[in-house]
Structure 1
Amino acid sequence: MKPYKVLVVDDSAFMRKIISDLIEQDQNFQVTATAANGREALDKVNRLSPDLVTMDVEMPEMNGLEALKILMAEHPLPVIMVSGINEEGMKETILALEWGAFDFIRKPSISSSQDITAVGESLREQMNEAMLARQQREARASALKAPPVQETAHPPAAQAKGSASSPGTSRSGPGMSPAASGLPARGKPELRQLPERKVLPEGKTTQQPEVARKPLKPAAEPVKPRASKETRKAAAQPPAAPSQPQAPAAASRRAGGLSKLVAVGCSTGGPRALKALLENIPADFPAPVVIVQHMPPNFTKSLAQRLNTFSPLEVAEAEQGMILRQGAAYIAPGGFHIEVVPATGGQYALALTKEEARNGHRPSVDVLFESLIPLTALERHAVIMTGMGSDGARMMKALYDSGVTSTFAESEETCVVYGMPRSAVELQCVKYILPLQEIAPRLVQAVK
């Protein structure tokens, strides 16, 4: 098998050498060219047609963001961003993921061989994920063009289930299955078709379908966006007050307590998926949303700030002891597990822990979901979206078996990597298997 061709883009010759050496430790990949800025990178992509690009974020003449935007429009291919850990670099990395980058790694510390090794493992894993995801997309595309008889010709394979990812910069990790960590033959993509199972929802999930209508966007207010959201939320509350039908839930809310909660887990491709989800949930959403996105420390704060500019909800990086509120979303900080725990007065709070990584991750979706199992006084709704591995699937199954209100998984057609959702679907614990654009409206309908 011919190795995959990689273009390495960085303005530092020393960093180009480090990244190239890390890439070529995997014989499935070969660095065929390097470039010192975005403009040079675009020229070499057009001439050499690489399979994958690693792209520095901050460069002279044309930076990584500008080059990425042009690449995605004219020559889409997997791009892994290489980000500095300064604030500007982190913000631009979040933008890059939103604009189509497959994933990112942080730049290794050149003074630490241990750090260089860890970043290299993460990079090689992401490259394998990217190529596998491309093969799966090509397989789906060819299956759609093939005669209908093809549908029964390929039984489902179980590649992504059980793969896990490494802590730190990677979104999937050390316990990967052979099919995910080793690369399948280029000419033999695995075609895996899973029928869309939709178990009939309980009666409560179909009430008030009109509420799923997308709200008007709040006006941009860079200095105090939260004040604007608070004002709008206060304005949205009065119409709901006279409503009597759901007496217990209403009484609980008046007493300061919560009656509903949404938990979301995602990994590779998650920032774009979260944007699509959160910008379509209204400000008067009657539940907090607690989110685990596999991401290293510091980057989650930039992600929360970015999502806060889009969503009618208040989006923030979670902190220890925060009391959960309706109309707010909380993103687990990188490097910490997040749990929901009971607090006084019928309220619920967030607890952050530094316990061992679960499924190779900290934060882990399984840890979040597991914390919801004893909270039977709450209507609990669990969502798994795009990501490599199986984090979240096992505890979604436990939630499902314990009588959770609803469970959602993103369908294969819109996933960047169909690993975590597939694992949940295979455990038969998903009520709604939906393309990304349909998750928010159905979730709003189920919760309201």
Structure 2
Amino acid sequence: MTLRTIVVDDSIIFRKVMRDALSAIPGVEVVDIARDGSSAVDKIVAAKPDLVTLDIEMPGLNGLEVLEELDLRGIQTNVIVVSAHTSRGAEVTTQALSMGALDFILKPDNDNAGANLAQLKSELARLLKMVKAQPQLSMVSSSPAKSETLSAPIVARAPVRTTKTTSVPRPVECNLENLKTPKFPHLCHAIFIGISTGGPKALASVIPKLPATFTIPIVIVQHMPPLFTATMAKSLDNTSALNVVEATHGMPLAGGGVYIAPGGKQLGVKADARGNVIAVVTDDPPIKSCKPSVDYMMSSVPSSIARNSLAVIMTGMGDDGRDGVSYLRQNGCTVWAQSAESCTVYGMPRQIIENGLADFAFDLDDLPNLLSQLAYRAGGYCPVPPIPSTTAPMMATN
């Protein structure tokens, strides 16, 4: 299968670098280039490419306006935003992702041209592998691909607990009929969400729909670099009745708040001696190349919190979250996974469902109402019982 691609950028130098990077990847054909937004729309409509790399800051129509125009015309293609690693770049990229862009890459800024080309090729190859593997990513000119290939688990350094390592169940034959009825925890200390590719758009369709009376803390790990997680939190906060912030070390995770793991850091959770749920932000190493990591966050949750909480795994590539969910489930946590049909990338939820870890599979459109039902059934925020001060530390430092 060949991915037909269009490169959109107002810089002649970067257009060449991007074209060279894409052309060096097997199975990719650059069918056209565009130097501005207006010509980009015309060429995308005419060529119907499988993939577009899109600069945001351009004369005439900018990248956001290109996305709007494609949506108005009903043009479906996979868009990878090319972003600067700046506050402004993070802001417009987050907006583009919430509008339906598939993912983004950062413009390399090395002094060495060869290093820039190698960095671009590596990042693009990773994303294009995902596009090829996902039939729901709508290949315009290609036949559907097989669903995501599940690689063997990557061995990471011992994640976040000093207690016994959690084993992952062997894959089981999953009966999806058993996952159609929602299962709710009787009480709810917190909701823990893990999400990756397609996440900003999915979260933008869920968090702003939760009512101001929603009193259960929501803790989210979204795979994003520094600056971008803070920008996403700000964007969600501006459109939500709930208070959405990027988590900081020692921050109480109070009811009615949504807490985003900071990019480039690891976010854990602990309960203090008085039963308050507290954020623990560290510079611990990546797990499965992820920082922040869903496994790290979920594996840090004390059993006193896990037994009356909800874990939610949403759209994303790979298997981050599988090990953490296995630990939570063994400690009584209820687990929901997003349905294949409603995912941008059915990778992370697939790992949960096919390993027999899910209690319920939900469609994205139903999630706001389901979470509201949960808050009503659980009577809102459930404080964590106080724990003895002699409790062993939860976070590993190695």
Find out whether 1:68 has 2:67 as its counterpart.
Answer: yes
Question: Residue deviations 1:172-231, cap 9 Å, x none?
Answer: xxxxxxxxxxxxxxxxxxxxx9734327666755xxxxxxxxxxxxxxxxxxxxxxxxxx
Find out whether 1:14 has 2:13 as its counterpart.
Answer: yes
**What secondary structure does 2:209 align onto?**
coil
Question: Residue deviations 1:102-161, cap 9 Å, x none?
Answer: 11111111415545533431222112212332467579xx99xxxxxxxxxxxx977246
Gaps of 5+ in 1: 144-155, 165-192, 206-248, 250-258
2:206 to 271, 277, 287: 277
* Aligned amino acid, residue 19 of structure 1: M
Q: Is the 8 A contact 2:133 2:149 kept in 1?
A: no
Query: What does residue 373 of structure 2 align with?
Result: 445
Find out whether 1:198 has 2:126 as its counterpart.
Answer: no
Once the two structures are TM-superposed, the CA of residue 287 in structure 1 deviates from its matched residue by 1.7
Q: Is the 8 A contact 2:269 2:301 kept in 1?
A: yes
Q: Is the 8 A contact 1:260 1:288 kept in 2?
A: yes
* Aligned amino acid, residue 322 of structure 2: A
Q: Is the 8 A contact 1:162 1:423 kept in 2?
A: no
Please report the TM-score for the alignment, with normalisation by the length of structure 1: 0.73
Find out whether 1:300 has 2:300 as its counterpart.
Answer: no
* Aligned amino acid, residue 133 of structure 1: Q
Q: Distance in 2 between matches of 1:382 and 1:14?
A: 45
Q: Distance in 2 between matches of 1:442 and 1:163?
A: 31
Relative distance call for 1:110 and 1:366 in structure 2 (3 A) is: same
Q: Distance in 2 between matches of 1:134 and 1:38?
A: 28
Question: Residue deviations 1:19-56, cap 9 Å, x none?
Answer: 11221221110212111111111121233222211000
Query: What does residue 33 of structure 1 align with?
Result: 32
Question: Residue deviations 1:362-418, cap 9 Å, x none?
Answer: 1010111101143347621100000011110222122112211x2111101110000
Find out whether 1:124 has 2:125 as its counterpart.
Answer: yes
The count of corresponding residues between Structure 1 and Structure 2 is 352
**What secondary structure does 2:254 align onto?**
coil
Find out whether 1:415 has 2:343 as its counterpart.
Answer: yes
Relative distance call for 1:136 and 1:6 in structure 2 (3 A) is: closer
Once the two structures are TM-superposed, the CA of residue 320 in structure 1 deviates from its matched residue by 1.3
Q: Is the 8 A contact 1:161 1:423 kept in 2?
A: no
**What secondary structure does 2:210 align onto?**
coil
Q: Distance in 2 between matches of 1:312 and 1:53?
A: 35
- Once the two structures are superposed, the pairs formed by residues 264-413 of structure 1 within 5 Å of their partners are 264-376=193-305, 379-404=308-333, 406-413=334-341
Q: Distance in 2 between matches of 1:37 and 1:158?
A: 34
Once the two structures are TM-superposed, the CA of residue 18 in structure 1 deviates from its matched residue by 1.3
Once the two structures are TM-superposed, the CA of residue 432 in structure 1 deviates from its matched residue by 1.3
Q: Distance in 2 between matches of 1:330 and 1:304?
A: 8
Q: Is the 8 A contact 2:307 2:332 kept in 1?
A: no
Please report the TM-score for the alignment, with normalisation by the length of structure 2: 0.82
Q: Which has the higher contact order (CA 8 A, sep 6+)?
A: 2
Q: What is the root-mean-square deviation of aligned Cα atoms in Å? A: 2.6
* Aligned amino acid, residue 383 of structure 1: V
Query: What does residue 45 of structure 2 align with?
Result: 46
**What secondary structure does 1:423 align onto?**
helix
Q: Distance in 2 between matches of 1:62 and 1:118?
A: 28
**What secondary structure does 1:92 align onto?**
helix
Question: Which deviates the most, 376-385 or 284-293?
Answer: 376-385
**What secondary structure does 2:111 align onto?**
coil
Relative distance call for 1:203 and 1:65 in structure 2 (3 A) is: closer
Relative distance call for 1:4 and 1:163 in structure 2 (3 A) is: farther
Q: Is the 8 A contact 2:103 2:198 kept in 1?
A: yes
Once the two structures are TM-superposed, the CA of residue 61 in structure 1 deviates from its matched residue by 1.2
Query: What does residue 98 of structure 2 align with?
Result: 98
More helix by share: 1
Once the two structures are TM-superposed, the CA of residue 344 in structure 1 deviates from its matched residue by 4.2
Question: Residue deviations 1:277-315, cap 9 Å, x none?
Answer: 212222222321110000111111110011112222100
Q: Distance in 1 between matches of 2:248 and 2:324?
A: 23
Question: Residue deviations 1:416-436, cap 9 Å, x none?
Answer: 000000000011111110100
Relative distance call for 1:440 and 1:33 in structure 2 (3 A) is: same
Q: Distance in 1 between matches of 2:129 and 2:121?
A: 12
Q: Distance in 1 between matches of 2:3 and 2:85?
A: 28
Query: What does residue 107 of structure 1 align with?
Result: 107
Q: Distance in 1 between matches of 2:268 and 2:70?
A: 39
Q: Is the 8 A contact 1:53 1:80 kept in 2?
A: yes
Query: What does residue 208 of structure 1 align with?
Result: none
Q: Is the 8 A contact 1:410 1:439 kept in 2?
A: no
Sequence identity (%): 35
Query: What does residue 159 of structure 1 align with?
Result: 149
* Aligned amino acid, residue 18 of structure 2: I
**What secondary structure does 2:52 align onto?**
strand
Q: Distance in 2 between matches of 1:10 and 1:21?
A: 14
Q: Is the 8 A contact 2:18 2:120 kept in 1?
A: no
